[in-house]
Amino acid sequence: MSYTNFTLNIDADGIALVTWDMPGRSMNVFTEEAMLELNAIVDKVATDATIKGAVITSGKDSFSGGADITMLQKMLATLAADKAKDLDKATKALFENAGYMTGLFRKLETSGKPWVSAINGTCMGGAFELSLACHGRVAADSDKVKMALPEVKIGIFPGAGGTQRVPRLTDQQQALQMLTSGQMLSPQKAKSMGLIHEIAEPKKLVETAKAMIKNGLKPVAPWDEKGFKLPGGPVYSVAGANLWPPAIAILRRETYGNYPAAAAILKCVYEGLLVPFDTALRIEQRYFTEIMQTREAAAMIRSLFVSLQELNKGARRPSGVPESKFKKIGVLGAGFMGAGIAYVTAKAGIPVVLLDRDMEAAAKGKAHSDSLISDQVRKGRAKPEDKDRLLSLITPTADYADLAGCDLVVEAVFEDSGVKKDATEKAEAMLKPSAVFASNTSTIPITSLAKNSARPKNFIGIHFFSPVDKMMLVEIILGKKTGDKALGAAIDFVRAIKKTPIVVNDTRGFYVNRCVLRYMSEAYKMLIEGVPAPMIENAAKAAGMPVGPLALTDETAIDLAQKIMKQTMRDLGENAVDPKQMALINTLVDTHGRFGRKNGKGFYDYPQKPAKKKLWPGVKDLYPQLAPEKVDYEELKQRLLVTIALEAARVMEEGIVTDPREADVGSILAFGFAPFTGGVLSYIDGIGAKKFVKIAKGLQKKYGAEFKAPKLLLDMAEKGETFYERFDPYARSEAKKAA
């Protein structure tokens, strides 16, 4: 029999080499076709007397990324359609569907022939579950090899035996940590946990795997042998009593009950370890069926799996524009932001010229890259030769003539229109006509900055977030005259440096900052009302935000908030900023000298490490405090999320963001908007426009005009629409194809 996705070769020793190499794909994934073929191969190996065992490996640089997007989408779409007709039947169909992979891996595991997984690169999700079902596991000694069960990050959990095999191979504490965090494992870490057996030189990977079979590898999983004992001891033991109560409490503390999949993992492991293995798999299958039906799973799969991958592949890239290949990038300004941009550019293997007013400043910017890569080397995440290669790609300079030959220049100079005008004119004088000029401004409209350019069609905004090396989102801002070529180049650059691009039309604050400023502003209002600061911060975290609004203000700097407020008043008039909030910020900055984390004093105090930050005691003296029992804690949570969501709806209404995928993914990647909701627009869709408008009206009555729902939302509520129906991103893609 011939296979499309696999090849099967049997050597003279009777060992079958199963090579997974899907045509037309850069990475192997589980599709229905691939699973059917693997099922046939398992049958072939089991029934062919000439085959003594099998090694499964990949014909690509990576092993496999796990399940295919379309398979998950199809599963959810089928569930949604069938639930409307017959809920019980739909649930049963989902249960059987979810169990197919579980059954396939168990069939392999109990086939009577030894199987070895030879892991040559990235091995994620279902692919790692497949490997765990094999009797032997060998990983190549390479930085390319990363193993993980990351499903919890998209609202589900490893439901093909992962929650049962991992805690039977390693101790329960390490298993829970890995499963509930989606932790990435190196070969060394995986081996120390007992999840793989050997690490081999990449060239000897298959040879080492075959040797395991030749040396008499037993075709029986440890848990199928009589007398099997759990590595960490039984659940009902002293060790178990010391692990499980704290584990449940820690999960509650970390997730606030917002992530059903994480809670289900604990249930699967706990209950599964009390029963025989096949019963445990059935328990896992039941919980997986339950989790797949949650709103959180649907929203997170859409935003953090499907939409994220689509945007990373250039979903918003204009058609017909040739792909840009970057031979040289220029960065103007070697401060913290510019130095960070230079670092990620060089890390992507692109030569970069880092320019500042003098060589000393430029060299200081390069030193930032030295510090970052040296830290990676120290932690074992990079090699000394990686450091040498990266630093060799960064050329510090004070001479604009060194920008000659750059394909793209990113301006990251001081946030002043005059300084930016001077830098733009000097740089453009040295650039070839086809080069693209991008500004990293966070406050000044791109259209106004483009007036400084001799070629506004090639002028665009590329807005990074700080710190550049860690933040995965980049806003690409279109000026009124920005052309498709500049947009294509900007998206290509962002993808080249392995960031996620979202495309935003020009406005004050663009998209992300408009939402973030609303979040902070609502917290200032709460403080002024007398809400205790700890309640504000805790409510934000309980609502799903990674950082409280007061801590976030400290991170971005309170004096910067003051500058933004003053600039807004100059541009839009005195009434553009709440005078009480202005007074609060002025008091902190001018009276108390509290600028935020940067000077160790903000809403929080920042003592010397290892001591942790703590709220400044003086915060409670700024306004008369309400008694905690007089504060509606649930309403605090609601206010913080709703104010952001309303601003996002206004951004959509104004046409600043036009694709709901970008609004959702951008909100999660940029400021961590409650990921379990799927992002800011999915939050509204999940509640329903009609109910959301009712909530907003209630808050408007109590707290003011910032909770007024825009006309767009009122119209959606009346028509019963969602954002993904009203602004269907796929309809535009289909129209583009048709054109």
We report the CATH number of the domain holding residue 147 as: 3.90.226.10
Last residue of a domain, one of 293, 319, 343: 293
Same domain flag for 83 and 158: yes
Helix (H), strand (E) at residue 694: helix 689-703
Last residue of a domain, one of 473, 508, 543: 508
pLDDT in tens, 277-307: 999 999 999 999 999 999 999 999 999 999 9
Backbone φ and ψ of 504, nearest 5°: -130, 140
Query: Is 463 considered catalytic here?
Result: yes
3-class SS at 108? helix
Helix (H), strand (E) at residue 408: strand 408-411
pLDDT in tens, 574-598: 888 999 999 999 999 999 999 999 8
- Does a structural domain hold residue 316? no
Same domain flag for 701 and 556: yes
Q: Which residue of the set 452, 463, 662, 667 is catalytic?
A: 463
Calculate mean pLDDT across residues 26-53.
Answer: 96
- Does a structural domain hold residue 315? no
Same domain flag for 478 and 519: no
Last residue of a domain, one of 239, 274, 293: 293
**The two structure tokens encoding residue 409:** 């220049």
Q: What percent of the chain has pLDDT over 90?
A: 86
- Does a structural domain hold residue 322? no
DSSP 40-80: HHHHHHHH-TT--EEEEEESSSSSB--B-HHHHHHHHHHHH
Q: How far is CA 444 from the centre of its chain?
A: 28
Calculate mean pLDDT across residues 651-673.
Answer: 96
Which residues have C-beta within 8 Å of that of residue 400, sequence separation ≥ 6? 355, 426, 427, 429, 430
CA-based Rg of the chain, rounded to a whole angstrom?
28
Q: Tokens 């999949």 appear where? A: 261
**The two structure tokens encoding residue 476:** 């690409």
Q: For residue 737, is pLDDT > 70?
A: no
Cα 192 to Cα 174, 199, 221, 231, distances in angstroms: 11, 11, 19, 13
Same domain flag for 445 and 543: no
Same domain flag for 571 and 650: yes
pLDDT at residue 192 in the model = 96
Same domain flag for 177 and 272: yes
**The two structure tokens encoding residue 76:** 């959810």
Alpha carbons 4 and 2: distance in angstroms, whole number: 7
Q: Chain-wide mean pLDDT for the chain? A: 94
Alpha carbons 636 and 703: distance in angstroms, whole number: 11
**Which is more confident, 260 or 415?**
260
- Does a structural domain hold residue 349? yes
pLDDT in tens, 91-138: 888 888 889 999 999 999 999 999 999 999 999 999 999 999 999 999
Same domain flag for 597 and 698: yes
pLDDT at residue 214 in the model = 96
Alpha carbons 604 and 319: distance in angstroms, whole number: 48
Same domain flag for 77 and 109: yes
Alpha carbons 374 and 68: distance in angstroms, whole number: 37
We report the CATH number of the domain holding residue 618 as: 1.10.1040.50
Q: Tokens 């109590």 appear where? A: 702
Query: Is 475 considered catalytic here?
Result: yes
Same domain flag for 503 and 537: no
Q: Which residue of the set 64, 324, 440, 442 is catalytic?
A: 442
Q: For residue 686, is pLDDT > 70?
A: yes
Alpha carbons 677 and 662: distance in angstroms, whole number: 15
Q: Which residue of the set 37, 310, 411, 475 is catalytic?
A: 475
We report the CATH number of the domain holding residue 438 as: 3.40.50.720
pLDDT in tens, 346-364: 999 999 999 999 999 999 9
Q: For residue 399, is pLDDT > 60?
A: yes
pLDDT at residue 736 in the model = 55
Position 404 confidence tier, pLDDT thresholds 50, 70, 90: very high
Query: Is 439 considered catalytic here?
Result: no
Q: How many structural domains compose the chain?
A: 3
Question: Bridge partners of 140?
Answer: 200
- Does a structural domain hold residue 739? no
Neighbours of 480 (CB within 10 A): 12
pLDDT at residue 732 in the model = 65
Q: For residue 153, is pLDDT > 60?
A: yes
Question: Bridge partners of 614?
Answer: 605
Q: Which residue of the set 28, 117, 142, 513 is catalytic?
A: 513
- Does a structural domain hold residue 531? yes
3-class SS at 547? coil
- Does a structural domain hold residue 314? no
Q: Tokens 């535009």 appear where? A: 732
Same domain flag for 485 and 563: no
Position 507 confidence tier, pLDDT thresholds 50, 70, 90: confident
Residue span of the structural domain in which 256 resides: 6-293
Q: For residue 76, is pLDDT > 90?
A: no
Position 40 confidence tier, pLDDT thresholds 50, 70, 90: very high
The answer to whether 19 and 80 have CB atoms below 8 angstroms apart is no
Question: Bridge partners of 189?
Answer: none
Alpha carbons 123 and 196: distance in angstroms, whole number: 12
Alpha carbons 242 and 240: distance in angstroms, whole number: 5
Calculate mean pLDDT across residues 458-478.
Answer: 94
Which residues have C-beta within 8 Å of that of residue 658, sequence separation ≥ 6? 503, 505, 652, 727
Neighbours of 412 (CB within 10 A): 28
Position 500 confidence tier, pLDDT thresholds 50, 70, 90: very high
- Does a structural domain hold residue 303? no
Same domain flag for 451 and 371: yes
Same domain flag for 536 and 578: yes
pLDDT at residue 733 in the model = 59
Which residues have C-beta within 8 Å of that of residue 1, sequence separation ≥ 6? 40, 44
pLDDT at residue 389 in the model = 96
What percent of the chain is helix, strand and coil (3-state, nearest 5)? 55, 10, 35
Which residues have C-beta within 8 Å of that of residue 507, sequence separation ≥ 6? 445, 514, 651, 654, 656
pLDDT at residue 91 in the model = 87
Q: For residue 72, is pLDDT > 80?
A: no
pLDDT at residue 738 in the model = 52
pLDDT at residue 89 in the model = 86
Position 33 confidence tier, pLDDT thresholds 50, 70, 90: very high
Q: How far is CA 250 from the centre of its chain?
A: 22
